[in-house]
Structure 1
Amino acid sequence: MRPLISAMTSLREVLVAALKSLLRGKSVLQAILAFWVNPSSITAQDAKPKRCTARSLPDFLKEAESLLLGPVDGDGLKEFSAKLKHQFRIGLRSNPACMLPSYNHQLPSGHERGEFLALDVGGSTLRVALVELRGQGAKGQASRIIRLDSFKIDSEVKRLRGTAFFDWMAERILETTSKGGKQGRAPEDPLLMGMAWSFPIDQTSSKGGKLSGMGKGFLAAEGLVGDDLGGIIEEACRRKGLFVELSAIVNDSSATLLSEAYLTRSTRFGLILGTGVNIAAHLPVPTIGQAKYGERPEAWHAKASHVIVNTELGMFGKGVLPLTRWDHLLLESHARPDFQPLEHLVSGYYVGEVCRIALVEAIKSTGVFGGVVPPSLTSTYSLDTETLSLIEAHDDLDAARKIFASRHPSPVEPTSTDIAALRTLSSHIARRSASIVAASIFALWELKMEAEADLLNTLPAESPFIAETQAEINIAQTTVAYNGSVIEHYPGYLAITKKYIDDLVSWSGRNKGESIELIAARESSILGAAVALACLE
């Protein structure tokens, strides 16, 4: 008798909800079907806690842990790293879209000195700085930013077309340099400048490259695609009466590597992990396919035994990444699902979205959060990684609950149990991200060590590169410089990444005493641009 009463009650609830929907303009059949299939589709004023019994919350979280972390437990992470290393090798030899060799073949000695003008051109900010490098033996800091001005690149600036955008840049450069009396130099004595450029470029020299489409809403490349970026900026400055020579262009990951290499001689990798992900790697020149070097002068090859490579890490992983059903749902609505497979599982832009998709499923199937999806979470990318970071940072569940409720209000107030479940889910997703980043770093490190040994074995006895290559092999502690909001600020992320890396190094069976260390590179874009310029000097 009790099941019959329960069924009648449920039917009565469906009919009541259907009647309310009918008054809002739906047909009876539409309203009943909509409510029956998706109870959370009723309006906030009709919402009441609905405890589904399809499955228990502990069962859901247990499955989530298995799906997200099972593939990277134990030997799984070793196997995944080996598959990534195989893809890296293929990319190094033939893929024109990734593993791109820069013109930076010389790492800093740490003794470079001088004042340098540095630019950092990002997606939302232009920064212009005067940087002083004082050398590692100097008293106090080895490097310092004497002056730094930041200029917001808002939507209006992004809409500047072609040369208008670079004229805007030139005005900002003039504004900064004029404060120190640096402007007004003669054409024969230009102001030397280095730049970190966070957009695609087909680099043709240390100081220039062909401008590509910039994306991110920028119209600056209109009419200029294929033109030399260095020349565009120098000409824009000349129109403002400022004579500059843009002598070094680097991307953000290369700048991170160079900035820390100036301070820590064992730095060989630069990791960016925030909204996106990328790694720069210092590798032997023969590791990269010859065609990728383009038409470089023989003088460059005569001096270069190694080169900094922009891996474009996010583009790897297709076919080997441990995808869950939530990842597949993310990709179904993605405009370019195959473009950056690895980035979809690790970067700050996507971690929150994977969590949102899984959380919505949990709400509908377990009754957590009262069985009601907060209205804001019905929109894609509405649960950002910053929110998850703040929730995981609070040991006080009530404080974390208030943060979530303020950002994602719901007709049903979340409980501490609800927030604890969200924290568990987000921690699994963040841990998976850290494991994949660790596997990527280890795969590149192991590839580098193997490539160094191969190079040493093939060099002729009279080669000037023998000592340098042997020194690379003898590095006991390799440093990875890092920068970015996820690895810097997500609670526990750095420590988890380091633990995975240590396990992989230990499992590798390589020489005892070898290690990979992670060091934060502060103001890496600005300092890296200055160091790149100093290396040329």
Structure 2
Amino acid sequence: MMERKLVFGVAVGVAVGACVVAAVVVGRRVKSRSKWKRVVRVLEEFEVAGDTPVRRLRQVVDAMAVEMHAGLASEGGSKLKMLLTYVDNLPNGSEKGTFYALDLGGTNFRVLRVHLGGQRSLSLEHDVERQPIPEHLMTGTSEDLFDFIASSLKDFVEKADDPDQLVARRKELGFTFSFPVKHASASSGVLIKWTKGFSIEDMVGQDAAESLQQAIDRIGLDMRVSVLINDTLGTLAVGHYQDPDTVAAVIIGTGTNACYLERTDAIIKCQGLLTTSGSMVINMEWGNFWTSHLPRTTYDIDLDVDSPNPNEQGFEKMISGMYLGDIVRRVILRISQESDVLGPASTRLLMPFILRTPSMAAMHEDSSPDLTEVARTLEDILEITDTPLKVRKLVVKICDIVTRRAARLAAAGIVGILKKIGRDGSNGIAGGRSRTDIKLRRTVAIEGSLYTSYTMFREYLHEALVEILGEETAPHVILKATEDGSGIGAALLAASYSS
């Protein structure tokens, strides 16, 4: 009898223990499911807030065209500056000779020599040399900086292998100066302010091309600064040289900008403007574009508030490489605050811009079965270790949402330009063109690592272009990747403007 009681007691104890264990397991599962639901909710809210259906993209297209009109009508009439470049003569392939370019846009500068044979070519023979700028020259005087550059330029010219290049005739130089400038002509422009670590006070308000020309003259080099441009205009020059149907150029890299060829009679803020071609290149500064139709999320608002330039460059902050990685970081941070699915909280997640866009792109395009690149990036950069596969998949999804939105908005911006000039296959806001224009081919030159090196970004951009334009028109819009507009493009424009 005692034995039966003992066995019964043991059985009851085991049953109770099993129930307790089962309750704990079920409790953990319920808790885990609850955590995961919170994570999924964060992701879903972000995806909905940043959604870009074609209806919304067409609203962005219309807003871009309207803002372009406003920026051409009056100074300060739009967030788009719509700056006159005074360049009305783009290279067409007939240029002959050897031309030079100087590309100054950061802590290094480049000098180039381009040889043109009078026939349009997809690959241009050129020599290039890169030089670092000594740190003290970035905060010294303008004379010291440009004397150093002119001296390097002279050394480069004198290294020419071809004796014919050293004949006593004036050489022509295109100057790419990637700082904010107000142009007075195609070959002159006043520096508005320095960026990128430069702080040379006596240069602000001075003509950048003239300062370089004076340094070139002081050193005894027979060379003329023919044009002063930015990298976007150089990209348009390369595109137009290779394809005469090129009507616009877009840079989508660390930053973003666009320029295009506009009729001079449409530039209302500068009435009476005359050009031999009847058109002029407009530098849009489209990174500053804004409309309420842009799908702005709480993460975009927080990023803007934390940035050095709040309420500026709104479009750029949603589509350029400088910011995409940080938007992803902010979403991951929010998830870590909502749940511990990422493990112990990482202080690295609190560091702005620690996740760069190339790393984000590598995670997005990770095709390994267990997403090893995602795991490596999370561990090496954000110090998030031992992530389960479903969490890695979640991170890839975040990258996808951010990239897809950026690419689709960039596509809408491109179509906005085409709409403004009546080349989008509709009658366009500019009017004056018929439906027969739909068959006209039009090319947009594109540069920048986001487009050229990030396959998913490029595919999403092309997909959106077809959605917006429709299958009848889209094949007639060619997006053409070009190379080195800031270098080769400057030399090509020097050739166009050579006397």
Give the TM bin, normalised by the shorter chain. Answer: 0.7 to 0.9
**Given that residues 233 and 485 in structure 2 are in contact (C-alpha distance below 8 angstroms), is that contact kept between their aligned partners in structure 1?**
no
**Given that residues 142 and 211 in structure 2 are in contact (C-alpha distance below 8 angstroms), is that contact kept between their aligned partners in structure 1?**
no
For residue 442 of structure 1, what is the amino acid of its counterpart? V
Residue in 2 that maps onto 1:18: none
Residue in 2 that maps onto 1:383: 355
Residue in 1 that maps onto 2:412: 439
Q: Does residue 55 of structure 1 match 2:34?
A: no
Where does 1:446-525 land on structure 2 (aligned, <5 Å)? 446-449=419-422, 476-506=440-470, 515-525=476-486
Where does 1:155-174 land on structure 2 (aligned, <5 Å)? 155-174=135-154
Q: Does residue 146 of structure 1 match 2:126?
A: yes
Residue in 1 that maps onto 2:156: 176
For residue 530 of structure 1, what is the amino acid of its counterpart? A
Distance change in 2, residues 1:400/1:428 (3 Å): same
Where does 1:77-92 land on structure 2 (aligned, <5 Å)? 77-92=57-72
1:488 positional shift: 1.3
Residue-by-residue CA offset, 1:432-453 (whole Å, 9 max, x unaligned):
0011111110011011117998
Residue in 2 that maps onto 1:120: 103
1:163 positional shift: 1.6
SS in 1 for 2:265: helix
**Given that residues 56 and 293 in structure 2 are in contact (C-alpha distance below 8 angstroms), is that contact kept between their aligned partners in structure 1?**
no
Equivalent-residue separation in structure 2 for 1:101 and 1:248 (angstroms): 14
Where does 1:82-481 land on structure 2 (aligned, <5 Å)? 82-96=62-76, 98-136=81-119, 141=121, 143-153=123-133, 155-180=135-160, 189-220=169-200, 222-291=201-270, 301-370=274-343, 372-396=344-368, 397-410=371-384, 412-449=385-422, 476-481=440-445
Equivalent-residue separation in structure 1 for 2:33 and 2:212 (angstroms): 61
For residue 310 of structure 1, what is the amino acid of its counterpart? N
Distance change in 2, residues 1:367/1:256 (3 Å): same
Distance change in 2, residues 1:355/1:95 (3 Å): farther
1:55 positional shift: 3.5
SS in 2 for 1:108: coil
Q: State the identity %.
A: 24
1:284 positional shift: 0.9
1:454 positional shift: 9.1
Equivalent-residue separation in structure 1 for 2:345 and 2:479 (angstroms): 39
Using the size of structure 2 for normalisation, the TM-score is 0.85
Q: Does residue 74 of structure 1 match 2:54?
A: yes
User: Which blocks of at least 5 consecutive residues in structure 1 are unaligned?
Assistant: 7-49, 458-468
Distance change in 2, residues 1:348/1:420 (3 Å): same
Equivalent-residue separation in structure 1 for 2:477 and 2:448 (angstroms): 19
**Given that residues 453 and 473 in structure 1 are in contact (C-alpha distance below 8 angstroms), is that contact kept between their aligned partners in structure 2?**
no
Using the size of structure 1 for normalisation, the TM-score is 0.79
**Given that residues 256 and 481 in structure 1 are in contact (C-alpha distance below 8 angstroms), is that contact kept between their aligned partners in structure 2?**
yes
**Given that residues 190 and 206 in structure 2 are in contact (C-alpha distance below 8 angstroms), is that contact kept between their aligned partners in structure 1?**
yes
For residue 259 of structure 2, what is the amino acid of its counterpart? A
**Given that residues 162 and 219 in structure 1 are in contact (C-alpha distance below 8 angstroms), is that contact kept between their aligned partners in structure 2?**
no
Residue-by-residue CA offset, 1:85-107 (whole Å, 9 max, x unaligned):
22221112113471012111123
Distance change in 2, residues 1:532/1:456 (3 Å): farther
Equivalent-residue separation in structure 2 for 1:241 and 1:182 (angstroms): 19
User: Which blocks of at least 5 consecutive residues in structure 2 are unaligned?
Assistant: 1-18, 25-31
SS in 1 for 2:348: helix
1:136 positional shift: 3.5
Larger Rg: 2
Distance change in 2, residues 1:473/1:195 (3 Å): farther
**Given that residues 318 and 324 in structure 2 are in contact (C-alpha distance below 8 angstroms), is that contact kept between their aligned partners in structure 1?**
yes
Distance change in 2, residues 1:381/1:75 (3 Å): same
1:183 positional shift: 9.3
1:198 positional shift: 0.8
Equivalent-residue separation in structure 1 for 2:428 and 2:398 (angstroms): 43
1:514 positional shift: 6.5
Distance change in 2, residues 1:302/1:424 (3 Å): closer
1:455 positional shift: 8.3
Equivalent-residue separation in structure 2 for 1:254 and 1:315 (angstroms): 17
Residue-by-residue CA offset, 1:139-193 (whole Å, 9 max, x unaligned):
xx4552431001134644423332211112112212211201699887xx43211
Number of residue-to-residue matches in the alignment: 464
SS in 1 for 2:140: coil
